[in-house]
């Protein structure tokens, strides 16, 4: 696995501080479990944060309260090894280890969706795209984290492979396209999606998006 695209530093800092909504924390934890670079960066951020707290009068050092209790994460001593399966351990605790065993909801030609219950705020879902399928153009009223679990995905911000994360805010509108082998991704949002096409907006209540 060659990971080239990572969450923004601000996202990693929020994760280290325990201030990310549960859905975004879940995707970040999944990325950290397969990306030694980000794993070590968060460990350093937590170490620095603890050091700063210890210098404050009367402050007690302690690990920040996680946004999502079911997402466990322990900073590494050194580089970590990527898990053998497609589903990173933090995500596997929510959906299981086998993507092919999941039940999907059809939403349009070549696109399927599966909602994942998550504590701590935000929405978490998986989407599966057939080869070359296009997700309608949309923006966001907040942050969105997308991590590729299988295949590839591309949009105006670049191309993403397994383990890569697309970290977007409300300033970006995009039209994701599944690669030649299709894709399966996990997506977290802290606010609703802003769809451009009227037909898609009308279908939002049915899909819950």
Pairwise CA distance, residues 49 & 33, whole Å? 21
Nearest to 143 by CA among 186, 97, 192: 192
DSSP letter for 128, please.
Answer: E
Residue 172 has a pLDDT of 80
Mean of per-residue pLDDT scores for the chain? 81
Indicate if 112 and 150 belong to the same structural domain: yes
Domain, as residue range, for 30: 9-84
Out of 21, 55, 84, pick the residue that ends a domain: 84
Mean pLDDT to the nearest integer, 141-158? 93
The pLDDT score that the predictor gives to residue 50 is 61
Q: Which of 32, 55, 84 is the last residue of a domain?
A: 84
User: With bands split at pLDDT 50, 70 and 90, how would you rate the model's confidence at 179?
Assistant: very high
Share of the chain above pLDDT 70, in %: 75
pTM of the model: 0.78
Domain assignment of residue 27, yes or no: yes
pLDDT band for position 147 (cuts 50, 70, 90): very high
Judge whether 1 lies within some domain.
no
Residues 60 and 109 in one domain: no
pLDDT score at 51: 62
Most confident of 14-18, 46-50, 55-59: 14-18
Is a pLDDT exceeding 70 seen at residue 197?
A: no
- Count how many domains the chain has: 2
CA 143 centroid distance within chain: 10
For the chain, counts of helices (H) and of strands (E): 5, 9
Tens digit of pLDDT for each residue in 70-102? 444 443 334 344 445 799 999 999 999 999 999
Question: What's the distance, CA 183 to chain centroid?
Answer: 15
Ranked by mean pLDDT, the top range of 45-49, 106-110, 114-118, 140-144 is 114-118
| Judgement on whether residues 134 and 44 belong to the same structural domain of the protein | no
The predicted structure's pLDDT at residue 174: 82
């Amino acid at each position: 696995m060659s990971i080239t695209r990572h969450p923004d530093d601000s996202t990693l800092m929020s994760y280290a501080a325990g201030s990310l909504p549960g859905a975004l924390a879940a995707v970040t934890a999944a990325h950290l479990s397969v990306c030694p670079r980000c794993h070590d960066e968060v460990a350093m951020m937590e170490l620095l944060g603890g050091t700063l707290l210890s210098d404050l009068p009367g402050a007690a050092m302690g690990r920040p309260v996680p946004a999502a209790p079911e997402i466990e994460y322990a900073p590494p001593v050194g580089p970590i090894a990527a898990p053998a399966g497609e589903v990173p351990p933090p995500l596997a605790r929510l959906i299981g280890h086998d993507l092919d065993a999941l039940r999907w909801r059809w939403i349009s030609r070549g696109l399927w969706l599966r909602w994942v219950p998550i504590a701590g705020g935000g929405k978490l879902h998986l989407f599966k795209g057939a080869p070359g399928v296009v997700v309608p153009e949309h923006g966001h009223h907040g942050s969105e984290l997308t991590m590729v679990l299988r295949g590839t995905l591309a949009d105006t911000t670049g191309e993403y492979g397994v383990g890569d994360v697309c970290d977007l805010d409300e300033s970006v509108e995009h039209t994701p396209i599944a690669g030649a082998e299709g894709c399966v991704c996990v997506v977290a949002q802290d606010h609703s999606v802003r769809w451009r096409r009227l037909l898609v907006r009308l279908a939002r209540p049915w899909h819950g998006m």
